[in-house]
Structure 1
Amino acid sequence: MTKLIFNRRRFLGTAAMTGAALASPAYLRRANAAGGEVNIWTYNDFVPEAFKEQFEADTGIKVNIRLVDDQGKQFNLLAAEAPNPSVDIMTVAGHRFLQFIESDLLAPLDTDRLSNWGKINPTFSESDWSTINDNKWGMPILSGMEVLSYNTELVSAEEAQSWDTLFSEQYKGQTAYVIQDMISIIMLKMGYDGNMVAYLDDPEKAAAIVEEAKQFLIEKKPLVRKYYDGGAELQQMFVNQDIAMAQSWNGPAAALITDGFPLAMTIPKEGSYGFVYTFNIANNAPNADNAYTFMDAILASPEIGAAMTKASGFISTYKDASNYLNDVDKKATSFSDEELANLQFFRAEANEMKYGLVDPAVEAIKAA
């Protein structure tokens, strides 16, 4: 095994400074100070710090950011606050829309109030998943996918072509994954619909499929080093050489690649799933006008989209954002046509049934 020597202080410092690349950008047209505040629940690095500072200076609106790391936790927190939430803008993944909509936690998005809506690539803004009950519910900002991330000094590109390598004896104790995310991939690997839309009229079959995936992961539990929860934990495991490969979202992996860490990512031949993150207006948002002002401003330039990509590692939904990425950044946020052909997108129609089955399976795997 090759011993990796990596400057951890350099990595952590570079990661922390990623958002500083947008020093004093001229993003916003000078507007009359609106004042007040806007409260946002979002993931780390989804709002570039330089943009935030510029927005506050140009509008007089104070931006309060509360970091979230899990869609389920965010849903529970918002549900607990309903019908009078403290948040204005949330970051919801498209495949979790229905859960929020059916609980009256989101307000339909009025795209007429977003003069920069047309700056989003229509692949994301006009896709079928984005319209529910004849309404838009979110403004696409970043997209991503589940990938197999691997240390290129320890794992070959050929080995990384299959999810089987993640569960091989050769790499016992050197792998990690998020259980809930991995279950969908295992179902797809077994030839099933990981979205479970195909089984809406056959809940018994859906339950049997989740049970099969659960038993597979229980059987393979002795091989995994860690069930992890967040991107920062994943990155640190790679940096520490605790793991050689992992199932991950492309964002945390891309951040390591951009920093020069010997990491690569691929969409294995058995396939994987992609998704889109959106900014959403909370139902009964206390500062809805300021929320629309913020959302329109963050759409103003593809340079902002590129900054979000460079900071988070996810793929920008903005038109022409790649024009502001260097070759390394493009490498960290692109895949071959062959890999993309293996990609499917998460759908929300069967979410209630799916997560009703998957969430207990996750707990069972942890307890096994």
Structure 2
Amino acid sequence: MALSRRMFLAQAGLAGIGLSFGGCAKSSVRKLNLYTWDTYIGTHTLGDFEKASGAQVQMSLFANNDELFAKLRGGNQGYDVIVPSNDFVERMHEAGLLAELDHAKIPNLKNIAPQFANPPFDPGRKVTVPYTWIVTGIGYRKSKVESVPDSWKWVLDSDRYKGRIALLAEASELFEIGAKYLGLPANTDDPATMARVEAMLARQKPNIATFHDDNGQDLLLAGDVDLVIEYNGDIAQVMREDPDIGFVVPKEGGILASDSLCIPKGAPNPDLAYRFIDFVLGAQAGGHIAETIRYPTPNAAALALMPAEYRDNPAIFPPQAALDRCEYSRWRGQEVAARYEQAMTRIRAG
């Protein structure tokens, strides 16, 4: 039976940070330190791994990639496995924060579909193992909007739903989406493009209820907003609880991303990290994770086990025509990232 998001949070204990799954384990038991996103693991994945490995799992949660990067750039604080997004993989690899992987220690890599074997952000999968792929679009409450919000205009360039709109707080992705709406390349360092997007978002600011950190689905489920820029898996999670919620990739195209499992340099338990990564890539474990978190899986062996309700869900797997209009977010350097952050600060203060 699929768990609701609230049931999942309660059962897995994810309302707290730094949850230990080891119960009364003795101090001599090895401990895997996992640093990941909220509601991004199967309900019994960590318990199953503990039984299989005899290790204890300590899981901590971050709200966004910036928080993850900030935690690691001053030195690894004891994490064994982390789950960054593709553009931050590039950023972290460039900064020398990620360990190169020994594929011989991850035999279940064979389960990954071929199209995910050689991504542009990590050719040859030198530092990453694919965990999910992601599409950013619009989550919406069907009974509160007049039709399917099939354009970014609904949330970026209109006062039609004033005070009922939530936007992503992550500056780079919001600006990439703005560029897509304007018919411009999402991955750009062009000052004129950035200025146009900033001006548009500044005009839209009075119509925005909030800028959110990866909890837009909760705002939508609670009825706090009617339209939200969010990731497809997060909206698919709450669609199980409320059939009045829908998801669409706007006609201009959205932003593609891929979250990966990585071992940061200085991991205290690298062998245990390899064992965990290989466990997660197993068909059964991968299928359970996908069924729980509702993100599209790159694990072909896991996908083969999934019910039609998952495989044929257009929120989880949007139509190919929509995906063809999407772009992967790319890391464009610290100077460009700083300009995005400065622009976002001006918008939110305006």
Query: 1:221: how far off?
Result: 0.8
Q: Does residue 310 of structure 2 align to residue 321 of structure 1? A: no
CA distance in 1, matches of 2:81, 2:310: 28
Distance 1:309 1:243, change over 3 A: same
CA distance in 2, matches of 1:257, 1:168: 25
Counterpart contact for 2:90–2:122, Cα < 8 Å? no
Counterpart contact for 2:42–2:290, Cα < 8 Å? no
Query: 1:367: how far off?
Result: 0.6
SS at match of 1:315: coil
Counterpart contact for 2:35–2:62, Cα < 8 Å? yes
Equivalent residues, number: 329
Counterpart contact for 2:165–2:225, Cα < 8 Å? yes
TM-superposition CA deviations, 1:3-32 (whole Å, max 9, x none) = xxxxxxx95544437879xxxxxxxxxxxx
Query: 1:71: how far off?
Result: 0.7
Aligned amino acid, residue 262 of structure 2: N
Query: 1:363: how far off?
Result: 0.8
Distance 1:354 1:314, change over 3 A: farther
**In structure 2, which of residues 80, 98, 101 is the aligned counterpart of residue 88 of structure 1?**
80
CA distance in 1, matches of 2:5, 2:266: 39
Counterpart contact for 1:85–1:282, Cα < 8 Å? no
TM-score normalised by length of structure 2:
0.87
Aligned amino acid, residue 139 of structure 1: V
Query: 1:327: how far off?
Result: 4.2
CA distance in 2, matches of 1:185, 1:125: 26
Aligned amino acid, residue 329 of structure 2: F
Q: How large is the Cα RMSD of the aligned pairs?
A: 2.3
Match of 2:25? none
Q: Does residue 98 of structure 2 align to residue 106 of structure 1? A: yes
SS at match of 2:84: strand
Q: Does residue 325 of structure 2 align to residue 335 of structure 1? A: no
Aligned amino acid, residue 215 of structure 1: A
Match of 2:18? none
CA distance in 2, matches of 1:273, 1:170: 24
Query: 1:278: how far off?
Result: 0.4
Counterpart contact for 2:221–2:242, Cα < 8 Å? no
Match of 2:141? 151
Match of 2:154? 165
Match of 1:74? 68
Counterpart contact for 2:239–2:246, Cα < 8 Å? yes
% identical aligned pairs: 20
Aligned amino acid, residue 253 of structure 1: I
TM-superposition CA deviations, 1:246-267 (whole Å, max 9, x none) = 1111122111112233111111
Query: 1:115: how far off?
Result: 0.7
Distance 1:64 1:307, change over 3 A: same
Q: Does residue 227 of structure 2 align to residue 245 of structure 1? A: yes
**In structure 1, which of residues 338, 347, 353 is the aligned counterpart of residue 330 of structure 2?**
347
Match of 1:228? 212
Match of 2:34? 40
Matches of residues 108-147 of structure 1 in structure 2 within 5 Å?
108-131=100-123, 136-147=126-137
Counterpart contact for 2:135–2:255, Cα < 8 Å? yes
TM-score normalised by length of structure 1:
0.83
Structure 2: tracts of 5 or more residues without a match: 14-27
CA distance in 1, matches of 2:41, 2:219: 25
Distance 1:127 1:135, change over 3 A: closer
**In structure 2, which of residues 156, 160, 164 is the aligned counterpart of residue 174 of structure 1?**
164
**In structure 2, which of residues 149, 160, 183 is the aligned counterpart of residue 191 of structure 1?**
183
SS at match of 1:143: strand
Higher helix share goes to which structure?
1
CA distance in 1, matches of 2:247, 2:11: 21
Q: Does residue 207 of structure 2 align to residue 218 of structure 1? A: no
Aligned amino acid, residue 170 of structure 1: R
Match of 1:207? 191
CA distance in 1, matches of 2:330, 2:68: 19
Counterpart contact for 1:175–1:246, Cα < 8 Å? yes
Query: 1:324: how far off?
Result: 3.7
Counterpart contact for 2:139–2:217, Cα < 8 Å? no
SS at match of 2:140: strand
Counterpart contact for 2:5–2:238, Cα < 8 Å? no
Match of 1:311? 292
CA distance in 2, matches of 1:12, 1:273: 24
CA distance in 2, matches of 1:293, 1:35: 15
CA distance in 2, matches of 1:161, 1:49: 34
Counterpart contact for 1:207–1:357, Cα < 8 Å? no
Distance 1:53 1:344, change over 3 A: same
Query: 1:85: how far off?
Result: 3.4
